[in-house]
């Protein structure tokens, strides 16, 4: 990760045990690579927790969004502990409630309806990015 201006940092949970963790990572990649590539950077949660000073410095200065698979909110908690509270947290388990027809099971390769859910989560992240940058520009 390199420090940059006018960006929002996305920190996603690294849950391997739950399909929701996989969805959080895929959704984050969709935002970084397709939806808002010029407005976002990702911060590596394991490196952040292990003491990565670049990651922690970014999150102290720039707005961040935590993307967590479940209510344990590991990404939000880690960011809050070592830098500052994320401006927003997107919870995959909450987004799923809006789309009960989209079931998730995979922890590796996503099925089409799991990819659809990841896209819905990515759209919510992108919306938050836009709102944060809009608020920041008005200050």
User: Interface with ligand SF4 includes 63 (CB under 6 A)?
Assistant: no
User: Interface with ligand SF4 includes 74 (CB under 6 A)?
Assistant: yes
User: Interface with ligand SF4 includes 69 (CB under 6 A)?
Assistant: yes
User: Interface with ligand SF4 includes 20 (CB under 6 A)?
Assistant: yes
Residue 57: count of CB within 10 angstroms of its CB: 13
Q: Which of residues 28-57 bind ligand SF4 (CB under 6 A)?
A: none
β-pairing, 64-68 with 88-91?
parallel
User: Interface with ligand SF4 includes 107 (CB under 6 A)?
Assistant: no
User: Interface with ligand SF4 includes 26 (CB under 6 A)?
Assistant: no
User: Interface with ligand SF4 includes 18 (CB under 6 A)?
Assistant: yes
Candidate ranges 14-22, 28-36, 120-128, 130-138; the one touching ligand SF4 (CB under 6 A): 14-22
User: Interface with ligand SF4 includes 68 (CB under 6 A)?
Assistant: yes
Burial grade of 127 (CB within 10 A; 0-12, 13-18, 19 or more): middle
Candidate ranges 48-56, 70-78, 106-114, 115-123; the one touching ligand SF4 (CB under 6 A): 70-78
Instruction: Give the binding site for ligand SF4 (CB under 6 A).
Output: 13-15, 18, 20-21, 68-70, 72-74
């Amino acid at each position: 990760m390199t420090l940059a201006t006018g960006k929002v940092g996305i920190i996603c949970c690294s849950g391997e045990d739950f399909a929701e963790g996989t969805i959080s990572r895929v959704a984050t990649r969709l935002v970084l690579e397709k939806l808002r590539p010029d407005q976002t950077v990702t911060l590596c949660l394991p490196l952040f927790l292990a003491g990565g000073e670049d990651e922690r410095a970014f999150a102290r200065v720039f707005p961040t969004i935590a993307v967590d698979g479940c209510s344990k909110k590991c990404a939000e908690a880690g960011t809050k502990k070592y830098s500052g509270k994320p401006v927003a947290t997107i919870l995959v388990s909450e987004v799923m409630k809006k789309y009960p027809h989209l079931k998730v099971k995979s922890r590796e390769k996503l099925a089409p309806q799991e990819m659809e859910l990841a896209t819905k989560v990515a759209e919510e992240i992108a919306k938050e990015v836009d709102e944060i940058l809009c608020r920041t520009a008005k200050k």
